[in-house]
Amino acid sequence: MSLFNEMSRRWLLALAGAAAVVAATPAAQAQRLSVATFAGGCFWCMEPPYDALPGVSATISGYTGGTTASPTYRQVTAGGTGHYEAVQIRFDPTKVSYETLLEVFWRNVDPLDAGGQFCDRGESYRTAIFVHDEAQRAAAEASKARLMESGRLPGPIVTPIIAASTFYPAEDYHQDYYQKNPLRYRFYRAGCGRDARLNALWGPEARGKAQ
């Protein structure tokens, strides 16, 4: 084989290898991602603390836990669908653990309230942890037990741990609402009493991250 042919062969092999790496990267990244789902009242307010975490690639507001297929916001908030407002989180478990997501969840909700969250009342605003496998269930149950045993909160935790079911993304205008409408978001959040209650329950630990 001539020197020219050998160099050409090596160049082609290197080019093919580089193309394979580029093509495989998105698939490899997708395979690394895990999913977590939490209901913490208004889903607008549950996106920011998770978006702030390194290792979280996406947060999606939506509806889950109910019986109505492809529900609308109007249907869910009217009641009767059984759905919760929830946020689904895509995360890289090599960069952020599910246990960390649980800690952030607790500190962004009032887990003592069985009737909703803050000013938002009704079944769609209840809290819940939706687990996607047995490992998540074990972690969620252990986290809840530790919190109950710690005496950190002034009452029993009513947040259920539920097997994840179909998750329906909410309408586009709900996605990233806090970024699209920052003034309206802050006005709603303050007016609903969310931060005041979180500060009363959690003190300096409230929210976990700046909103």
- CA 182, 203, 152, 194 dihedral sign is negative
- H or E element in which residue 38 lies: strand 34-40
What is the distance between the terminal CA atoms of the chain, rounded to a whole angstrom? 65
* Residue 45 annotated in active site: no
- H or E element in which residue 196 lies: helix 194-202
Angle (CA) 95-97-103 rounded to 5° is 130
CA distance 88 to 116: 19
Task: Point out the catalytic residue in the list 42, 45, 119, 192.
Answer: 42
DSSP 160: -
Catalytic residues: 42
